[in-house]
Amino acid sequence: MTAVRYSANPPMEFPCIDKLETRQRGLMAGPEPTYEKVVTGYEVYHHQKPFVCDHGGVLPQLDIAYETWGHLNHEKSNAILLHTGLSASSHARSHARNKNPGWWEKFIGPGLAIDTDKYFVICTNVIGGCYGSTGPGSVDPATGKRYATTFPLLTINDMVRAQFHLLDSMGIDHLHASVGASMGGMQSVCAAALYPTRVGRLVSISACARSHPYSIALRFAQRQALMADPNFNRGFYYDGVMPHLGMKLARSIATVTYRSGPEWEQRFGRRRWAPDQPPALCPDFLIETYLDHQSERFCLQYDANSLLYVSKAMDMFDISRSITRRLDSQRNHAIAELERQQNNSVKDTTISTAGGANRAVCMNINEQPESTTGQSRIETGEEIENDLVAGVSDALQPALVLGVQSDILFPVKQQKEIADILRRAGNTKVTYYELDAMYGHDTFLIDFVTVGAAIKGHLENSNR
């Protein structure tokens, strides 16, 4: 009889996996998180006409969740449109209908960076999101079921066009300013370029004029981690178990990009959670416990499909003229096809194109754009920059561009690029600041003194 042999070493313990398995069993018992209830107190604009997206998809109707602060003046000239980052809701500041602190609580209010004694502030949840605006988790009126991954691909341009539909419904023809950070900065640049006569001032913080390979790669890794979750089910998980593990891994990757090494050196160093215990493969260092906590908190508060769609829109962002024209051409072709299918229906059911100001460039769908930016061939730096300059040629309003030296997700090089192309396009009122802050990309959420002072000065400077 062969003797049973035992390893000289005991098996490792995995309390983190035990925790995940416990959470998984809880999710299997339901119910599915209702993301739109994470935030309350917002208003909803309902756009009843079909909304045709840049890549040809169609939303039969559209909801935009939004919140406001301050008062719109009689001339309707003091409105500021505040654009959000990837996963933010419309709740930028507390108010009577929702007293919870907003994500920019210390920036918005009487006497603050965006002074609500002077300005009427509007913040929306972007389309594709999950906090009240139409997104993959919304019900498709054509089927009575959630869109899931039948939801059309979006662009940053689509998000901005939807926001201008909202402005049209409010009777706001001209904004005092368009303000945004991160993906919000992309939207702000886009709004200034697409609606130059409707945007009075531009504020872009830690954003870009086009997404660069490094940030694309990081967001790709997040999506791959998410889609590898067995519960993802190609996006049709709403009647089952949500991809909790994939979302947690995706958020862990993202969190690494949002902060900086110097901050973490100071905040965590190499300290361990339980230094008197043997090393563990589960969260052990304080930085690991931080990532574990942040990702666990996020993964049940944001819809996985929204993360896929909105992050992909960020990857595809490019304000170059050739790209904008190509998107306009695709959308116009889709509009014409839909109108043909509707058999030239009456005017009140025709397709609404661009927030009351159709700036689409009339171009045959088969016509080649003048630049190949965004295509497969290798472009020269001069070609890329010239195309970007052409893309913002009408954005001549006073502009503030802020960058953070410790930002690894949107490095200062990309902020300089925004300022440079605006200046080359003929904008003589561009202000560029580079902040020596240690908080990385999230500086725009944290440093309300420095960032806030720059914003306040730009918005209130009557000489610009």
In contact, 188 and 360? CB cutoff 8 Å: no
Catalytic residue ranges: 182, 407, 441
Q: How many CB atoms lie within 10 A of CB 17?
A: 11
Q: Which of 387, 362, 361 is nearest to 373 (CA)?
A: 387
Residue 177 corresponds to which tokens in the numbers above? Answer: 């300013």
For the record, the structure tokens of 296 come out as: 């666990």
Separation between Cα atoms, residue 444 and residue 448, nearest integer Å: 7
H or E element that contains 45:
strand 43-47
Bridge partner list, 51? 59, 352
Three-state DSSP at 462 gives: coil
Whether 147 and 87 have beta carbons less than 8 Å apart is answered as no
CB atoms within 10 A of CB 120: 21
Instruction: Give the burial string for 121-153 (b: 16+ CB within 10 Å, else e).
Output: bbbbbbbbbbbbbbbbbbebeeeeebbbbebbb
**Tokens (6 digits) for 10:** 């005991």
Distance CA 461, CA 383 (A): 35
Q: State the sign of the Cα–Cα–Cα–Cα dihedral 289, 290, 295, 300.
A: positive
Cα angle 340, 346, 349; round to 5 = 80
